[in-house]
Amino acid sequence: MRVIRLLILVACFLGITVANGQKITKNMILGTWHLTANQINYPTITFSNGDATLTSKGDTIYRYKYYLQNNDIIFVDVYNNKFKSHIKKISKDTLIFNSLLANKSIQVYEKIKNTKKS
């Protein structure tokens, strides 16, 4: 698993789309993303139009409204508390946060391909 994470980080630094200087849109983050590291909080995030659902390896599901502000995503909870997470890099299949909510280290996600058949 560490090798996969390292390869993703190297690929990001060698030319995958960088957030800096690029306007990030909701269409870029829509879908379901899976964390490449093994940790308890937020192993999966699903972004839909204005809603974000984050899971845990326990029985907790976190739901937020969200909006984008430059290269930051602002999560808003049911009490209108706001939490800012900086998007370090993004591509069609990789999303990297400097930190994400309670997780204060770099968080690397891979996009889960849509398995629905048309």
The SS3 call for residue 26 is: helix
The pTM for the full model equals 0.76
Q: Provide the pLDDT for residue 5.
A: 54
d(Cα 19, Cα 81) in Å, to the nearest integer? 25
Q: Provide the pLDDT for residue 1.
A: 55
Q: Provide the pLDDT for residue 73.
A: 96
d(Cα 105, Cα 69) in Å, to the nearest integer? 21
**Domain 2-111 sits in CATH 3.40.50.300:** no
Q: Provide the pLDDT for residue 23.
A: 84
Domain extents in the chain: 2-111
Are 43 and 33 contacting, i.e. CB atoms less than 8 angstroms apart?
A: no
- Intervals of the chain under pLDDT 50: 3-4, 6-19, 117-118
